[in-house]
Structure 1
């Protein structure tokens, strides 16, 4: 361990030297009014932080090679700032800014421009923030940015759209009525101090946003906007391929008109819970079968102490899953299956630390024993001085993560940066999240002193609980007990054994040197091992030079999805394996080594990724453990029961997701409904699962890939390692999936009865075949219809919150999906609107628009990979789908480019209007009115699929 700590300190020391050197040469000498943030040695972007004359702090990011430009503006105002009685106003304002400005008055203009130029746009409202972001093909950044800037200069707040967009907020509210996440939040807000701003209704509804005799909601919107949307309360990030100087000019020209109102953010001194409320016990009845225990503590706001990060130290230990951990004890006693810890909610003045535990049925019945274990572990942390070596381990892992940070998607990156700019000093904008350089034992001890039973709010969520109250907005049944009714002695005990701090982490990377790229390194992955039972592909990463790699194996077998019994057994088997290995693999996860073991339609896959230093060591141990696997009967029963409960919990998922699951079962083989899988699980016992395990490995063949910082000698080592689980002989070929073939002019209907008031309509239009031309036509149509479908059916007609048109391929069979979930209209009305939209689109799209959409799709198809992991995923999916030339993007782009405007019009008319291959799925909801049609109607996916012709999809040579 001392070697690791010394190595970690050396890494940090060299890191800061390298960072300083790279920061100095990343761009020309910036103006004196700007700052160059410290950046990762692996970061090739150029950065400049400037403050515009109006006080708007702006981070400029130049990447000359980026295919996508992006921007984000974060306003430090959110649902916690809603005026009293105006729940959801901040969220409503976020919606309204997209709907026209003085310079660009057309409400559809921004959405249409971004989509036609290969981009996407969105926003979110949280308690403290409203964050707006977009990306676009890099050549079109100036025009997109000009439209975006007007949101914060001169939005229209058009009266007509104020009235309409209230319906969108209402639809979002209605959609969440059966979401256990939103329902739990409603109870939390109802139980806290009503003086705290977080207690306010966050989403909004027609009622909370209604006009009132003394004030219209538009007036309140304007007041809110003019009070909070101030340049000094905003942070802007712009990422483009232009040089920094050009980006700075762009920012000044477009955003200098944002007004500066000299907003002063007030500290929130009101506590989330007053002393007389704590301790508190809430019991919440969920919509589904959720069983969970939350232990919440109000703690200080440590965001300004980001060099120390005391709660990272505490949460890392409380949430640890290795040997001696809190979760290990709870699993051993059969009380819990999962645990997480962290500060999910913060405000100017405090934060909420939440310990969230996934309970078993036994854990619900004995939740006080779970609480005893939680408080015993917190007592353990208080009883020993904070360990500097544990802190330095965490620091070393964070330093490595920063040193070898790789690029991510531009839009996600700028959105994250614009939010974090509010909390880090200028020089630390990039490295702030990774810094853990100031070990402060007293600060950690002070934090631990807040985590005691008298200061706890405990939330038990389970179907079994008894309740006597109802929450105000989501109608959740719950009960609440305060300090006068609770016996804290029942939450404490001395009878807890086996808890201790984790041992030194053996998986922290020590060798981070880059392997020399061999002269014979192939341009594309090359098959280096080809045997009857296994194949191994190999390529060194020559573009992404980081000490990381992706080690993937697919164990393919015909015994995983031909029947529901196989699907259930393979799912339970992989869960049993993952669960049994969790104590061993969790330290690897903390050290940046990912491990996953999961079932799929063609077999069971294992993935090991991250720093390559300890990967083969991990793989050998994992396969050796799997080869000697045995099943503990008690653990088997708990995991099987958990899976049954999860399958029963589908009622809590949004209706559109449930309907799409039904459509998948109708269209593709290897999927089964919940009752079938539940019956299969309930029929399994330990012996049957062990028999399945043996049969699977008797039949399995392995396809593997090594891509990353590996010497070629690792191929043979990996090949030999796979022999730990592979049997002698040739094994058996996996079953290729079957996809329903819908005939020309065939019209099928699937009616699902989903327990929700909302109507859901999903209209699937299948492509003519499997060729690249067929795929290109459908993908191009999806690109063309995306913006208009949203704008017309959501913004203009207000049919619902979920309104989307997108490509929905089933393996290599293309299809277009139109999806709407509506709280206000019948299925018949929604389907009529969909049909009208498709007819109108043919006449609405001009040749110029078509050409822009075609180029946007080509650019998206040929978009370079951002990082090693993204490239690895592409290679692996190409291998899995027999695309051994690894040229599917080029094939697709060429097919798209070959489509003329006239070709598309003719194909569109044939595919989507005159002779469609149609599957209409719907859930009628409370309206109950379905479309009138001559289509054949089915009540289940299985009945629809029965006896119908299918496409055979050949995915495996093995």
Structure 2
């Protein structure tokens, strides 16, 4: 479950329908009221919108090819509705709703049912929305929906779980105490108008949710549920294999029983900021090493103007990264690294527009000049006036995106649509977010001229050295607030003093023009074919015949032994990739806007360059990127800033959540080529352009390239790709990359690796390795992960309340199988957590919580269904082919081998395997942080990778 303080099943109904078909088939009257939303020509699913008699809005989606059903219900209520004296109540209700209903009173029943049938579930509380969602094996959608519907009909809110879930909310609150995003929001909460609901804490704590003599928390919970959980404030989206009529026959009786209390939620009339407090400067001292300049402007509510997207258009212009942009100017001055824009908060009654700039060290010193440049750019926009050509261009890009929209995960799709049903007309719910066809120059002009004014700005400066004089109430963030000095130059930018380099973006040359589909040959291989195999280039090609969109994946992996053999190499390659990415960003940014994406990143065997999207202009972009790489001048003014930014990001790993740091430490200990942040920082501190260039020369001298061309390509495209890549490839015989290594633990290993983390919570990440990396071991280990994840969460989180972060997961490293059990606890020491994990594992095979043969078979089918999930879009299939190429599994049959190995497992064989390898003599390393207790579990302490590798051999992975 997540809390965002701003803003990123049963067979009885089927039996009844069979016996009394007329009562459950949608009536003519119902169908007459149904509506079919406008959908993408590339979308072959069927849709039906309808409103139930109780005014619950429903969108049904029939997808005969889906292997998973999914549903989401969004309540148009969130932390904005928290009572003043009950901060976090909406979020607390979200937690409680999962814990039993009158029809299904067992608090564990929903979680167990979803997991055993191959699904997942979650929820989040935002400022104005609470969204509940799940997915599941398609054959189990109906009984899952029955359980889901009961949340909104007859939840129990059992008193025995109230105190436990208050502890869970407190653990979630504690989890964010060192997280700068939460800490900064706590300051903003105190700075906004105290009459605005944003001033109330969203997540909640044990104190805000404590029983009071006049108001026990359970009574407050019941009152909130009664006040706001009404069918007329809800939207439901259901996706399944069933026909629309079948889905409607399922949904109407189930969700028609949700009470309609005819509730209304008032618009927020209070201004977000009191006018007399602006312009203001807020200074925040962060936990992480960072330098940020943030501007926030109060805005009207533009949510009804979804066809205009005037605010989004202005955000696009200010946030542009191409030539002539604000970011380009700031980078040329050495003042900024990144810039982002957008509406950070939207609600019924208003919104806030934000500009967020990551500053360099010099930019922090010159922040007054940075502010001046921001308002210069806004003044330039106002003087230039709204450009209809640029607006239509953005609308064209959005229209192409909608025309060729692709399928994604059902669970994310339904959750997003359930939210959108509150914001968009039903006819436009599929298209509305990509509809931009009402150019309204007067509205655009009003945004730049009336709202993005310096005198209406809340300016936040975040840095280690800023002046502070107080602490925020809940997250103890040090900050200060002061009126902006009246003589600040940025308050009075003159129209005749705009920097000459600032101008509107040029027309986007990367917008796809040829969106035709290449004809398919009569004989089309099902798998990628190796069509080029020279000493330095291997190229696999497959023309897509399934998704049939004018897009493709052009992936290149430059493999080299000079990448991770030493920490110096790893640091230099990482810096080199950062320099190259920066060098190509300005000319590649328009391509990304047009749906032509690229990424450049370091990995264990080299550097990967991925170009994907519309294939029309792909070769042009590839040629430009290769030319920039081949001719890169590393000794530039940007070198120091990019190196310092990389160092800062590595330093900030220590501010990540403790469990995340423990998992990172596990990779560093177990996997070759993974180095600690302090070791990388030590190499980077004084690294020179000459050192990076020397590494780059060695890297390219030994490069061999793997290439995948997958999508809307003909074979004629191969020659163009070869020619484009040729400047980076030598004619010699390159050395192969070194094999990857994962430490091979021995049965009975009981290593403990302490991780130094500055946090009061304890953490245990218990890594338990499979006995080998064959398919049998992978199958046993992954099935064990599927079997344990539900019970682990339910027992150690819901029942024992050991922490908010509680998870059991399959955690292979380079196909060396393992299970990972992770708990971050604010209430128990690491030794206590370790004892609880051991007890759980022992109880998996015996006692009240033991897995039965029937449960085993359900989990087995669930895992097989998950492995066999068809690729939902071209990119999923491309990534699968790419991963198989990287592993040299060139038969592309990894999923089939995995499924066959899982299918062969019998219950008694799994029990014996689990008892031996996960309980009696596991091969394990326990990664732990001591927290405020200062204790770690017993075991042989290993304090470095070298200490472990001196005692154990390794798995070698090609």
TM range (shorter): over 0.9
Q: CA-to-partner distance for each residue in 1:896-954, whole Å, 9 max, x for gaps?
A: 010000110010111111221111111111012222x3x31123344333352111101
Q: Distance in 1 between matches of 2:507 and 2:498?
A: 27
Q: Which residue of 2 aligns with 1:953?
A: 957
Give secondary structure in 2 for the equivalent of 1:55: coil
Mapping of residues 107-122 of structure 1, within 5 Å: 107-122=107-122
- Give yes or no for the alignment of 1:929 onto 2:932: no
Q: CA-to-partner distance for each residue in 1:741-762, whole Å, 9 max, x for gaps?
A: 0011122110112111110001
Q: Which residue of 2 aligns with 1:572?
A: 575
Q: CA-to-partner distance for each residue in 1:684-736, whole Å, 9 max, x for gaps?
A: 10111111111111111100000000011111211222111111201121112
- Give yes or no for the alignment of 1:374 onto 2:377: no
Q: CA-to-partner distance for each residue in 1:661-699, whole Å, 9 max, x for gaps?
A: 111111100011111101111231011111111111111
- Give yes or no for the alignment of 1:795 onto 2:801: no
| More off after superposition, 737-746 vs 782-791 | 737-746
Q: CA-to-partner distance for each residue in 1:854-898, whole Å, 9 max, x for gaps?
A: 000000001100000111000100100111111111110110010
- Give yes or no for the alignment of 1:81 onto 2:81: yes
Q: Distance in 2 between matches of 1:640 and 1:929?
A: 37
Q: Which residue of 2 aligns with 1:450?
A: 451
Q: Which residue of 1 aligns with 2:649?
A: 646
Q: Which residue of 1 aligns with 2:903?
A: 897
Q: Which residue of 611, 616, 625 maps to 2:614?
A: 611
Give secondary structure in 2 for the equivalent of 1:186: helix
Q: State the 4+ residue runs in structure 1 displaced beyond 4 angstroms.
A: 490-493
Q: Which residue of 2 aligns with 1:215?
A: 215
Whether the aligned pair in 2 keeps the contact of 1:297 and 1:353 (CA below 8 Å) is: yes
Indicate how the Cα distance of structure 1 residues 205 and 942 shifts in structure 2: closer, same or farther if over 3 A, else same.
farther
Q: Distance in 2 between matches of 1:56 and 1:946?
A: 64
- Give yes or no for the alignment of 1:872 onto 2:873: no
Q: Distance in 2 between matches of 1:711 and 1:30?
A: 49
Whether the aligned pair in 2 keeps the contact of 1:750 and 1:941 (CA below 8 Å) is: no
Q: Distance in 1 between matches of 2:697 and 2:795?
A: 55
Q: CA-to-partner distance for each residue in 1:553-607, whole Å, 9 max, x for gaps?
A: 0000011111111111111101101101111000000000001111111000000
Whether the aligned pair in 1 keeps the contact of 2:74 and 2:236 (CA below 8 Å) is: yes
Indicate how the Cα distance of structure 1 residues 106 and 366 shifts in structure 2: closer, same or farther if over 3 A, else same.
same
Q: Distance in 1 between matches of 2:921 and 2:826?
A: 31
Gaps of 5+ in 2: 1-27
Q: Which residue of 1 aligns with 2:299?
A: 299
Q: Distance in 2 between matches of 1:651 and 1:690?
A: 30
Q: Which residue of 2 aligns with 1:479?
A: 480
Mapping of residues 680-829 of structure 1, within 5 Å: 680-829=683-832
Q: Which residue of 1 aligns with 2:66?
A: 66
Q: Distance in 2 between matches of 1:737 and 1:491?
A: 57
Whether the aligned pair in 1 keeps the contact of 2:600 and 2:608 (CA below 8 Å) is: yes
Q: Distance in 2 between matches of 1:41 and 1:686?
A: 50
Give secondary structure in 2 for the equivalent of 1:696: helix
- Give yes or no for the alignment of 1:154 onto 2:158: no
Q: CA deviation at 1:120?
A: 0.1
Q: CA deviation at 1:489?
A: 2.7
Q: CA deviation at 1:491?
A: 4.7
Q: Which residue of 673, 676, 686 maps to 2:676?
A: 673
- Give yes or no for the alignment of 1:254 onto 2:260: no
Q: Distance in 1 between matches of 2:487 and 2:529?
A: 66
Q: CA-to-partner distance for each residue in 1:614-639, whole Å, 9 max, x for gaps?
A: 00111011111211111243211111
Q: Which residue of 1 aligns with 2:546?
A: 543
Gaps of 5+ in 1: 1-27
Give secondary structure in 2 for the equivalent of 1:284: strand
Q: CA-to-partner distance for each residue in 1:76-109, whole Å, 9 max, x for gaps?
A: 0001110011111000000000000000000000
Q: CA deviation at 1:268?
A: 1.0
Mapping of residues 551-590 of structure 1, within 5 Å: 551-590=554-593
Q: CA deviation at 1:495?
A: 6.2
Q: CA-to-partner distance for each residue in 1:332-351, whole Å, 9 max, x for gaps?
A: 00110001100021011111
Indicate how the Cα distance of structure 1 residues 646 and 491 shifts in structure 2: closer, same or farther if over 3 A, else same.
farther
Indicate how the Cα distance of structure 1 residues 386 and 29 shifts in structure 2: closer, same or farther if over 3 A, else same.
farther
- Give yes or no for the alignment of 1:662 onto 2:668: no
Q: Distance in 1 between matches of 2:393 and 2:174?
A: 46
Q: CA-to-partner distance for each residue in 1:202-225, whole Å, 9 max, x for gaps?
A: 100000000001000100000000
Q: CA-to-partner distance for each residue in 1:235-267, whole Å, 9 max, x for gaps?
A: 000000000011011111111111111112212
Whether the aligned pair in 2 keeps the contact of 1:30 and 1:48 (CA below 8 Å) is: no
- Give yes or no for the alignment of 1:861 onto 2:862: no
Q: Which residue of 2 aligns with 1:25?
A: none
| TM-score under structure 2 length normalisation | 0.96
Whether the aligned pair in 1 keeps the contact of 2:766 and 2:924 (CA below 8 Å) is: yes
Whether the aligned pair in 2 keeps the contact of 1:368 and 1:491 (CA below 8 Å) is: no
Give secondary structure in 2 for the equivalent of 1:656: helix
Whether the aligned pair in 2 keeps the contact of 1:295 and 1:355 (CA below 8 Å) is: yes
Q: Which residue of 902, 905, 915 maps to 1:909?
A: 915
Whether the aligned pair in 2 keeps the contact of 1:74 and 1:129 (CA below 8 Å) is: yes
Q: Distance in 1 between matches of 2:486 and 2:898?
A: 65
- Give yes or no for the alignment of 1:635 onto 2:654: no
Q: Distance in 2 between matches of 1:49 and 1:636?
A: 55
Q: Distance in 2 between matches of 1:787 and 1:200?
A: 34
Whether the aligned pair in 2 keeps the contact of 1:376 and 1:492 (CA below 8 Å) is: no
Indicate how the Cα distance of structure 1 residues 523 and 370 shifts in structure 2: closer, same or farther if over 3 A, else same.
same
Q: Which residue of 2 aligns with 1:335?
A: 335
| More off after superposition, 590-599 vs 624-633 | 624-633
Whether the aligned pair in 2 keeps the contact of 1:751 and 1:940 (CA below 8 Å) is: no
- Give yes or no for the alignment of 1:469 onto 2:470: yes
Whether the aligned pair in 1 keeps the contact of 2:635 and 2:690 (CA below 8 Å) is: no
Q: Distance in 1 between matches of 2:221 and 2:267?
A: 23
Q: CA deviation at 1:519?
A: 2.5
Q: CA deviation at 1:492?
A: 4.5
**How many equivalent pairs are there?**
924
Whether the aligned pair in 2 keeps the contact of 1:369 and 1:491 (CA below 8 Å) is: no
| More off after superposition, 204-213 vs 938-947 | 938-947
Q: CA-to-partner distance for each residue in 1:644-669, whole Å, 9 max, x for gaps?
A: 11111122110011111111111100
- Give yes or no for the alignment of 1:940 onto 2:944: yes
Q: Distance in 1 between matches of 2:53 and 2:498?
A: 64
- Give yes or no for the alignment of 1:320 onto 2:320: yes
Whether the aligned pair in 2 keeps the contact of 1:54 and 1:258 (CA below 8 Å) is: yes
Whether the aligned pair in 2 keeps the contact of 1:66 and 1:241 (CA below 8 Å) is: yes
Q: Distance in 2 between matches of 1:943 and 1:857?
A: 37
Whether the aligned pair in 2 keeps the contact of 1:802 and 1:820 (CA below 8 Å) is: yes
Mapping of residues 33-432 of structure 1, within 5 Å: 33-432=33-432
Q: Distance in 1 between matches of 2:941 and 2:110?
A: 40
Q: Which residue of 2 aligns with 1:16?
A: none
Indicate how the Cα distance of structure 1 residues 677 and 821 shifts in structure 2: closer, same or farther if over 3 A, else same.
same
Whether the aligned pair in 1 keeps the contact of 2:454 and 2:490 (CA below 8 Å) is: no
Q: CA deviation at 1:32?
A: 0.8
Give secondary structure in 1 for the equivalent of 2:380: helix
